[in-house]
Structure 1
Amino acid sequence: MTTRWKEEKAESPQTLKSNAFSFQSPKQNKMSPLPVPEDVALQIASFLQGWRCFYMELHNEKAARATSVVQFVETCSSSVSLEVGEYQKAMQDLHALQFGYQDVQMFLFKPELTVLVNLLGLHYCINWLGVPANCVLKALESRKISERQVCVKWWKLGIWSHGFRMRDELLSRRFTLIDVGLAKQEEVLAVLYRGAIHEVLRVQICVADPSSPSWSCQSAHRRG
């Protein structure tokens, strides 16, 4: 064992020397790029240009569709309020236009738009697209719209008691967009999703502003 170790030790400098001669640096082993034929390069450039044009056309088409939805909401809410039927129609339009999460972020989460449009996009992301809450919250924060406030009011049919129908009940919820993202307003989202059916007589979405006109509905005791 000792002799063998000495022989290996004596031969090791020669081995290292021979290995040194056979060693090649990475630069020597690196293959130089092959030249691209001119016709192939032109085809690649044409393909990329065509893809870019297609993307721009798609973007412009999405922008035009988003504008139509925004204009519809703004027209219907010219008095700073929106009826639930109009709200639901705008929601269905987004679904029919196949809007995705990125489209909502780009076109509906703009701080210069009315908060009703922001709420529409947020509700669409949660109920229709199933976007995770953490993604929604990040989007609201990044677009600086998380603290914008909305007020939803709805009338419920008065219950019957001792042969008389009680006065119709007005319910009101004032909340921020981040409250919706944190699932603190599930009751409100359910009302907006269902609309004015069964015991709910009317639903209205308003900009939460003290100067906005109050919404009232006549109600009275009715005899059975």
Structure 2
Amino acid sequence: MNNNNNRSIHNSVPSDIAFKIASLLQELDLCALGSCSRFWRELCGSDHIWSGLCVDRWLALGLDKGQLSSVPDFNPHHLQQHHLESKLKGWRGFYVNKHHEMASKADAVIAFLEQCISSESIEVNHYLVAMQNMNSMQFGFRDVVLFFFKQNLHVLLNLAGMHYCIAWLGVPADRVMEALYRCKISDRQICVQWWKLGRWAYGFRLRDESISRSASLKDLAMTKEQEVLDVLYRGAIHEVIRVQISAPKPVSSHWSCQSQIAGTSG
């Protein structure tokens, strides 16, 4: 009965349409579709499908999708200096190995950032080192979404991933926004405080100036807080002597109650 159903599904979908459907899917959906029948398993495991996923996810490798489509027997393992062993072969094996490699690198960056976060804040020099490491490790946009855009991570890790996509990868704002909404972290708030060297006036140097800004990830992604992004990108240089990033401190219930009483009495 199952074999007859599989044959009917196969016969009802032309091969070119089936290929088009499979080529539009991401990894998990592709694997789920491949479990439906032998026909879909062979199609969803083909090099033609997985080569496209590799090109889209890891642009830094310099792969050319147009060239790959005309050279189906091209060996992707030649692109890796350190190939990880896998039972899967071809482009699918390359994708799986590369995914595990990037997951390990993401764990290292996350561990570094979590170690640097003290009292819910992080100094900007550590923040910039983390993103420079992400750049040297060749993180792509899809890697950031998978490993850094998680609700269970500290908001400063979400911020580092988002800022890396904007400043280092040059991902368009609307694409970043879509990912933030999909991962349900767009409304998460961060606070950036920086100290500027006091100005000179009448032969005396004034006190150092402290500036604080709070913003949501979506506001930063849409460059509504460009000054904050500029400070984060430059770090502590010239007149800016220190930059600290944190999650906004919640307003205590006692203070909130006093504010409401004061507003009522006014």
TM-score (norm 2): 0.60
Residue in 2 aligned with 1:173?
A: 213
Note the residue ranges of structure 2 that are not aligned, 5 or more in a row: 1-45, 48-74, 76-86, 253-266
- Give the structure 1 partner of residue 131 of structure 2: 91
Aligned residue for 2:244, secondary structure, equals strand
Q: Aligned-pair RMSD on alpha carbons?
A: 2.0
Query: What is the identity, as a one-letter code, of the residue corresponding to 1:100?
Result: G
* 1:124 lines up with 2:170 in the alignment: no
Q: Does 1:67 pair with 2:107? A: yes
Residue aligning to 1:21: none
Unpaired stretches in structure 1, ≥5 consecutive residues:
1-43, 213-224
User: Which has more radius of gyration?
Assistant: 1
Q: Aligned equivalents of 1:76 and 1:211: distance in 2?
A: 25
In the alignment, the residues of structure 1 paired with residue 240 and residue 250 of structure 2 have an alpha-carbon distance, to the nearest angstrom, of 25
Q: Give 1:53's aligned residue.
A: 93
Q: Does 2:235 align with 1:195?
A: yes
* Structure with the higher helix share, 1 or 2: 2
1:129 aligned counterpart, secondary structure = coil
CA distance in 1, matches of 2:202, 2:188: 44
Aligned pair count reads 168
Give SS of 1:179's match: helix
- What displacement does 1:211 show? 7.0
The higher relative CO (CA closer than 8 Å, separation ≥ 6) is in: 1
State the TM-score, normalized to the length of structure 1. 0.71
- Identical counterparts, % of pairs: 54
DSSP-derived class of the 1:138 partner: helix
Deviation at residue 209 of structure 1 after TM alignment = 2.2
- Provide Cα deviations, 1:35-89, integer angstroms capped at 9, x if missing partner: xxxxxxxxx89x9931333322211110000010011111100321110100010
Q: Please state whether the residue corresponding to 1:170 is helix, strand or coil.
A: strand
In structure 2, what residue type is equivalent to 1:173? R
Distance 2:88 2:127 in 1: 40
Deviation above 6 Å: which 4+ runs of structure 1? none
